[in-house]
Amino acid sequence: MNHEDPVLLHTEGRVRHITLNRPRALNALNHTMVRCMGDALDAAGQDDSVIAVVLSGAGERGLCAGGDIRSIREDALAGGRTSLDFWRDEYRLNARIARFPKPYVAVMDGIVMGGGVGVSAHGSLRIVTERSRIAMPETGIGFVPDVGGTRLLGAAPGELGMHLALTGDPVSAADALLCGLADHYVPSGGLPALLAALDGCTTPEAVAATAGRHAGTAPAGELAGHRDWIDTCYAADTVEEIVERLDGCGVPAAKQAATTILAKSPTALKVTLAAVRRARSLGSLEAVLDQEYRVSSTAFTRPDLVEGVRAQIIDKDRNPRWSPAELADVTDEDVARHFAPLGDAELGLGPAAAGTG
């Protein structure tokens, strides 16, 4: 094992450990890492001596901050398509994680965003800590939640997922548990003991039981107390009406949510609203990933992604110039374009007809 490799693999007892190893980049995913994880899962799935996989991130800051959006922006500016190849393999990896036949334990400590959610929240045992900050912040860079995120958010109770999808707000451990993004809370100081206990397990059933025994009660979250206005406001038919309800309901947190939403890409907001609602009726994760690939492929060619990454990551002026700049100027045709079939370029994970309407 080369400690400079972007993904580290080692086995303790009967547990295969996968460690994302780009701590200076907050373990942001690139194509090499996605391929390495896919190969590691293939090997672990076929190895009868391995009873479980544990995913964690190197460094002190978090599991994974998402995809390498600097590279995606450079690819878009150059008129390339390597990002589409990356997403194709990444989304296939997300599906494999969800269908992995052995326990897949994701240690979601610290920052877990975007692609980091994709390699963790589809796992069978998802561990959060008091340090966890989990988010799908794509609308802030002119993009749309992907990596199966529209399915995860669409399945959250009430309209909690839509609130998170449009605002991009991060959630803590308790709120991640409430939204179905995690299974167990373990204090960060208890992770070494948990991992040591997992390494001593000899059956898949013991892995699940061990995770449960080490779990505790998470510090109180915020979303449960906001359900009334969230469920009412985000049930509106359009983003414009959602913002109007938020701004006018008289709750300071709702008004803040409206302000947050209005700073995001208008196109990304409208596509995200449609994508999450469509995901609720698509059935399988594979069908949702097919839809997300269509959306991502179109968003990649639009100006807001390049501009959003510039404003947030490159120049860091936090002042993106969206095109169009106003919600009212994003047409139904603009939104529908993101869901159009890709022909021979389809991801092709789900039934051929899924999501092509």
Tens of pLDDT, residues 304-329: 999 999 999 999 999 999 999 999 99
In the structure, what pLDDT confidence band is assigned to residue 352 with cuts at 50, 70 and 90? low
What is the pLDDT at residue 1?
60
What is the pLDDT at residue 351?
76
Please name the residues in contact with 250: beta carbons below 8 A apart, sequence gap of 6 or more.
none
What percentage of the chain reaches a pLDDT higher than 90?
96
> What is the phi/psi pair of residue 57, to 5°?
-120, 145
Give which of 328, 323, 339 is closest to 275, Cα–Cα.
339
What percentage of the chain reaches a pLDDT higher than 70?
98
**Per-residue pLDDT tens over the stretch 149-206:** 999 999 999 999 999 999 999 999 999 999 999 999 999 999 999 999 999 999 999 9
The reply to whether 247 belongs to the active site is no
Average pLDDT value for the chain? 96
Residue 245 CB-density burial (10 A; 0-12 exposed, 13-18 middle, 19+ buried): middle
pLDDT at 4 over 90: no
The catalytically annotated residue of 57, 115, 148, 355 is: 115
The catalytically annotated residue of 68, 75, 90, 138 is: 138
What is the pLDDT at residue 354?
42
In sign, the C-alpha dihedral spanning 96, 98, 103, 109 is positive
Q: How far apart are CA 294 and CA 299, in angstroms?
A: 9
The residue type of 108 is M
Could you list the beta-strand ranges (E) of the chain: 7-12, 15-20, 52-57, 62-64, 104-108, 111-113, 125-128, 133-135, 184-185
Q: How far apart are CA 269 and CA 153, in angstroms?
A: 14
**Per-residue pLDDT tens over the stretch 272-297:** 999 999 999 998 999 999 999 999 99
The reply to whether 140 belongs to the active site is no
The catalytically annotated residue of 68, 90, 109, 146 is: 146
The reply to whether 348 belongs to the active site is no
Residue appearing with tokens 């959630």: 171
Give which of 281, 320, 29, 291 is closest to 144, Cα–Cα.
291
**Contact (CB, 8 A) for 57 and 109:** yes
**pTM, entire model:** 0.96
The reply to whether 67 belongs to the active site is yes
The catalytically annotated residue of 67, 114, 123, 350 is: 67
What is the pLDDT at residue 357?
37
The DSSP string of 161-182 is HHHHHHH---B-HHHHHHTTS-
The DSSP string of 314-328 is IS-------SS-SGG
